[in-house]
A and B are shown apart, each in its own frame.
Chain A
Amino acid sequence: MTKREFLLHLDELLELEAGTIKGDELLASWPKWDSLAIIAFIALIDQHFGASVPAIKIMNCRTPNDLAMLVAERLQN
């Protein structure tokens, strides 16, 4: 998965138009970024990368770019 595809998955997860998320927005500015969305994000990275990240690390992310950093090694250039 490329980073662009990763951001498109986040659009879907947050019920936004495809292409809305650029990467440097503040997650806190989206009301839909709540504990249910974080759980859906955990499912997303488990399903696509087989990765497990402590929830606290996800909660501490400020932007979609920070989220992408959690799985940076698994994203294609």
Chain B
Amino acid sequence: MSVFALPNVRLLGVATAVPARRAPIEPSQMVGPDDLNKIIAATGVKSRHVAASEVCASDLCAGAARRLMEKLGWEASSVDLILFVSQTPDFVMPATACSLHGRLGLAKSCGAFDINLGCSGYVYGLSIAGMHIHSRAARRVLLLVGDTISKVASDRDRSVAFLFGDAGSATALDFSAAETPIHFVTGSDGAGARHLQIPAGMFRTPSTEQTRAQQSRESGNLRSDEQLYMNGPEIFNFTIREVPPLVNTLLNASGWGVNDIDYVVMHQANRFMLDYLVKRMKLPADKVIMALEEYGNTSSASIPLAICNSLSARLARAPARILLVGFGVGFSWGAAAIDLKSLQVEPVFEM
């Protein structure tokens, strides 16, 4: 794993937007009430916010960015870099960060690029934003992280149909000479790529009538090759193999003990997985943030969404030491230990 620290990087604020449309988890022809209750108990998800067909992750991120910039008093012309982390961009090309740059009216001197990551993407995004600030390549960075995974999940595939929601976030970072270094740990295992993927529809396996057709799969699930395939058991194996050492490595690097941490915000994968990780790592459950019930698993946006949902009042009021832990699609993982003085956190809002 890669272990590093970035001084002079300050998190100033976070905002997260979700689509106004709510999708409760309800029995259907595919799943009766008993089975559904079992699924809800395992996932912890009772409803989600899902984007209408014309709403993209970039729209939610742009809304979050506008709100955050207004709250912070950031002029568009003052932003030096915009990053967009997502697996559901607007187009194959150009980079969605470039179109967001235009929509937000940022300066021509401002850099813009996309990062294709999901569950670990927020932590990677923070680290890349931080590297630009630490190297003085940028003084102010807008990190936009979001996904609309509900659009690629088959509603006739039990492994994904009741889990994913949509959200878009914005995080503001800038240079501060007085800041405690942020410690990061990152890693990847590409051998796991096939366990969580959309197999077709791009250049490796281009879209055809056949790849677009839903087919019967394991356990009677129906999905096309252009929809999300998730091997839940293999992902669980990966998670319990990699996440405990990830957190231990981060604690060693930062010099923190479990008692020094105020909050742990993990990727909101599902309730069973988070509960098991808490037990396995002997983390104090009351410090671990859960935000699955109303929003589901929102992929790359789940960490900022959980912060906005649960910590908006607390982080504005007093300093806090937080651990952020992302893990999943790739397989890819990353964690950050951040000593926050205060953070402008907007409560989650609907668009």
Residues of A within 8 A of B (CB): 34-36, 38-40, 42-43, 46-47, 52-56, 58-59
Contact = CB atoms under 8 A, between A and B. Distances in A.
B73 interface: no
A42 B231 CA distance: 13
B99 interface: no
Contacts of A35: 158-159, 219, 232-233
A39 B240 contact: no
A55 B276 contact: no
Contact of B272 (A39, A52, A54, A58): A39
Nearest to A31: B35
Interface residues of B, number: 18
B204 interface: no
B240 A36 contact: no
Interface string B281-303: 00000000000000000000000
A66 to B, nearest CB: 16
Given A35-B219, A36-B42, A39-B272, A54 B234 contact: yes
Describe A's contact surface by its main secondary structure. Answer: helix
Given A46-B280, A55-B231, A36 B39 contact: yes
A1 B9 CA distance: 50
Interface in B36-82: 38-39, 42
B29 interface: no
A59 B233 contact: yes
Contacts of A38: 232-233
A43 B219 contact: no
B232 A43 contact: no
Given A34-B219, A35-B219, A35-B232, A55 B237 contact: yes
A35 B261 CA distance: 34
B236 interface: yes
Interface in B233-270: 233-234, 236-237, 240-241
A10 to B, nearest CB: 16
A22 to B, nearest CB: 25
A30 to B, nearest CB: 13
A62 to B, nearest CB: 16
B97 to A, nearest CB: 36
A43 B236 contact: yes
B219 A42 contact: no
Nearest to A39: B236
Contacts of A34: 219
Given A46-B240, A52-B240, A52-B241, A39 B233 contact: yes
Contacts of A39: 42, 232-233, 236, 272
A54 B38 contact: no
Q: Which of B38, B219, B232, B233 has the most CB of A within 10 A?
A: B233
A50 B108 CA distance: 54
A34 B159 CA distance: 10
B32 to A, nearest CB: 11
A77 B232 CA distance: 32
B217 to A, nearest CB: 12
